[in-house]
Structure 1
Amino acid sequence: MFTGLIQETGTVKRIKKVSQHIELTCSASRELLQDYNIGDSMAINGVCLTAIEVTDSDFTVDIMPETFQKSIFSDLRIHAVVNLERAMSAKGRLEGHIVSGHVDTTTRLIKKVKKENSIILTFYYPPQVQGEIVAQGSVAINGTSLTVSAVTAGSFSVSLIPYSMNHTNLGQLKQGEFVNIETDILGKYIKAIMGTEKTQILSKYTGE
């Protein structure tokens, strides 16, 4: 489990296709990798992945084809900047929100506007997550826990404070670029429960 509080950014050093999977190597600081071992989890741009190799300055993870195609990893290039977060320890503070590291889909940045000391990012609202992104709710974008500031029929917006701009890759986003998104797990459960109750009510009155 993760919190969506990015610990640092890393750089993609190598992308290697091996049989039915992809090996991705990223740079990271000695501090982040100090007690990071083979088999441990790391969220890279919000995707939970397992280490297969670790050195003092980089680490390598396995990416399955489905994950590769479902995320922005399919468009990653060498030297790309990625957000990194280690899995939360049992003693850690949950200061963002519960992030599973299971990306739902990707979406496109459609507007970027500077407002005072913040930046407002507006993204296309993918139909796959309809009803799971609500104003004042939480969403993870490239693994970064953010509060949704506005929602329309076709888009949603978040606000980046200077810290988030400087400590994640979101401040570098350009209009038209794609990001990974994971909606709030609590919202998913509520949506599933409400959908089940609606089906049961319809079945009761239709006899199905």
Structure 2
Amino acid sequence: MFTGLIQEIGTVKRIQKASRHIELTCAASQELLHDYHVGDSMAMNGVCLTATEVTDSDFTVDIMPETFQKSIFADVQVHAPVNLERALSANARLEGHIVSGHVDTTTRLIKKVKKENSIILTFYYPPQIQGEIVAQGSVAINGTSLTVSAVTAGSFSVSLIPYSMDHTNLGQLKQGEFVNVETDILGKYIKAMIGTEKNEMLRKYIGE
């Protein structure tokens, strides 16, 4: 489990595609990796991945084809900046929101506007996650825990404070670029429960 509080920005060093998986090596600081071991989890741009090799300056993970295609890793390039977060330890504060590291979909940035000391990012609202993003709710963009500032029928917006601009790769986003999206797990459960209740009512109504 993760919190969406990015610890540092890493850099993709190598991408090696095999027949059944993709091997990706990422550079990171000694501080982040000092007690990081093979088998440990790391969220990279919001995707929970397991280390297969670790050195003092980088680590390697395997990405399954389904994950590769469902996330922005399908188009990632060497030298690309990636948001990194270690898995939450049991005695740590939960200061962002609960992030599973299971990306729901990708979406593109449709508008970027500077407002005073912040930046407003507006993204297309993919139909497959309709109802899972609400104003003042939480969403993880490239693994970053953010509060939704506005929602329309076709888009949603979040605000970046200066700290988030400097300590995540979201400040470097350009209009048209794609990001990983994970909606709030609590919203998913509520949506599923409401859907189940509606189906039960419908079955009773038609006499099944």
What is the CA-CA distance between 1:19 and the residue it aligns to? 2.3
Matched, 1:25 2:35: no
What is the CA-CA distance between 1:207 and the residue it aligns to? 1.5
Aligned residues: 208
- SS of 1:170's equivalent? helix
How far apart, in 1, do the equivalents of 2:25 and 2:207 lie? 55
- SS of 1:31's equivalent? helix
Identity %: 86
Q: Over aligned residue pairs, what C-alpha RMSD do you find?
A: 0.4
Matched, 1:11 2:14: no
How far apart, in 2, do the equivalents of 1:101 and 1:155 lie? 22
- SS of 2:146's equivalent? strand
Letter in structure 2 aligned against 1:129: I
Q: Counterparts in 2 of 1:89-128, with a 5 A limit?
A: 89-128=89-128
How far apart, in 2, do the equivalents of 1:26 and 1:185 lie? 28
- Deviations along 1:35-65, whole A, 9 cap, x unmatched? 0000000000000000000000000000000
Letter in structure 1 aligned against 2:70: K
Instruction: Name the structure 2 match of 1:200.
Output: 200
- SS of 1:3's equivalent? coil
How far apart, in 2, do the equivalents of 1:95 and 1:66 lie? 30
What is the CA-CA distance between 1:206 and the residue it aligns to? 1.0
Letter in structure 1 aligned against 2:33: L
Q: Counterparts in 2 of 1:55-204, with a 5 A limit?
A: 55-204=55-204
After the TM superposition, list the runs of 4 or more consecutive aligned residues in structure 1 that deviate by more than 3 angstroms: none
What is the CA-CA distance between 1:33 and the residue it aligns to? 0.1
Instruction: Name the structure 2 match of 1:44.
Output: 44
How far apart, in 2, do the equivalents of 1:3 and 1:72 lie? 20
How far apart, in 2, do the equivalents of 1:145 and 1:57 lie? 26
How far apart, in 1, do the equivalents of 2:21 and 2:171 lie? 30
How far apart, in 2, do the equivalents of 1:207 and 1:39 lie? 52
- SS of 2:43's equivalent? strand
Letter in structure 1 aligned against 2:146: L
Q: TM-score, normalised by structure 1?
A: 0.99
Q: Which moved more, 1:155-164 or 1:13-22?
A: 13-22
How far apart, in 2, do the equivalents of 1:178 and 1:63 lie? 19
What is the CA-CA distance between 1:91 and the residue it aligns to? 0.3
- SS of 2:50's equivalent? strand
Letter in structure 2 aligned against 1:48: C
How far apart, in 2, do the equivalents of 1:95 and 1:112 lie? 26
Letter in structure 2 aligned against 1:182: E
- Structure 1 gaps of 5+ residues are none
Q: TM-score, normalised by structure 2?
A: 0.99
- SS of 1:32's equivalent? helix
How far apart, in 2, do the equivalents of 1:82 and 1:49 lie? 13
- Deviations along 1:59-89, whole A, 9 cap, x unmatched? 0000000000000001100000000000000
